Amino acid sequence: MAEDFKSEIENRLEDLFQEDEESAESVDRFGGVGDHPLKALKAMVLSVEWEITDSSMESLIKELNSLQDFYGEDRIILSFLRLLGSISTYIKVRKGKSHPNAMGLLTSIYEGLEKVALSEGMNRQEREKILLQEVEKFKKLKADIIRRKKEEKMGELDGPETERAAPDPAEMSSHELFAYALEEIKEVIRAEFRALRAEIKLWRESR
């Protein structure tokens, strides 16, 4: 009986989650670059997407510099590489304190670069359009970083917040644990709203 039940569940799951190749391909966010000169750069971008360390950031910046020599005569690719260089230097300095969208922008600029560098026959207008989209994103992030810095300075003038010692969840009762988790969530939601308010303000200013 138990074995019957188990095998029926296995069969049902097999039917429900049968994978077809067509949709599997569409999920692949980063296609292969083969032996293209961008191969090493791609590996580094993927690597820092997961873990930011001094050595990984240094390798990334070094690779960007050597690619700038390689693509010296392609003004559009050179602009992509410079954008990547700026954002990489910022992430290297700020690390975990980087703006939350910085890593996403690094990936987005790289994807734009890959599109431009790998698409044979793409005309100049199309290439410039992709570049301009990334430049806009870069400018927006830069403005947001400057605004945040101002806010941080204002916060410092208001006086530093006192650090609360985190209680040990193992010593908490059920309702205390729930209340503590709720406080954690509230604090992050407050931070989210602060960031959203700042973004709306920035959006209004840019109109």
Partner 1 sequence: MAIINMKKGEIQAKIVYYGPGRGGKTTNLEYIYNRFRARIKTEMVTIKTHGDRTLFFDFLPIEIGKIKGFNIRIQLYTVPGQVKYDATRKLVLRGVDGIVFVADSLAVRRKENVLSLKNLSDNLAPHKKSLSDLPVVLQYNKRDLAEEGIPLLPKDVLEKDLNHELKAPSFEASALKGPNVVQTMKKIIVMTIDSLQRELA
List contacts with partner 1 (CB under 8 A).
Answer: 2, 4-6, 8-10, 12-14, 16-17, 19, 23-24, 27-29, 32, 39-40, 42-43, 46-47, 50-51, 53, 100-101, 104, 166, 169-170, 172, 177-178, 180-181, 184-185, 188-189, 191-192, 195-196
Q: Of 126 and 192, which has the nearer Cβ to partner 1? A: 192
Q: Min. distance of Cβ 53 from partner 1 in angstroms?
A: 7
Q: Min. distance of Cβ 126 from partner 1 in angstroms?
A: 27
Q: Of 43 and 132, which has the nearer Cβ to partner 1? A: 43
Say how far apart CA 81 and CA 149 lie, in whole Å: 26
Q: Of 129 and 194, which has the nearer Cβ to partner 1? A: 194
Say how far apart CA 85 and CA 204 lie, in whole Å: 29
Q: Of 17 and 73, which has the nearer Cβ to partner 1? A: 17
Q: Min. distance of Cβ 205 from partner 1 in angstroms?
A: 19
Q: Of 82 and 140, which has the nearer Cβ to partner 1? A: 140
Q: Of 16 and 157, which has the nearer Cβ to partner 1? A: 16
**Closest to 58 measured CA to CA, from 46, 67, 48, 70:** 48
**Closest to 88 measured CA to CA, from 114, 66, 109, 118:** 109
Q: Min. distance of Cβ 39 from partner 1 in angstroms?
A: 8
**Closest to 128 measured CA to CA, from 139, 120, 137, 116:** 116
Say how far apart CA 52 and CA 91 lie, in whole Å: 8
- Dihedral angle computed from the Cα positions of residues 46, 50, 56 and 58, in that order, rounded to the nearest 10 degrees: 80
Q: Min. distance of Cβ 128 from partner 1 in angstroms?
A: 29
Give the amino acid at 59: S
Q: Min. distance of Cβ 82 from partner 1 in angstroms?
A: 23
Say how far apart CA 127 and CA 190 lie, in whole Å: 40
Angle at 174 between CA 171 and CA 179, to 5 degrees: 95
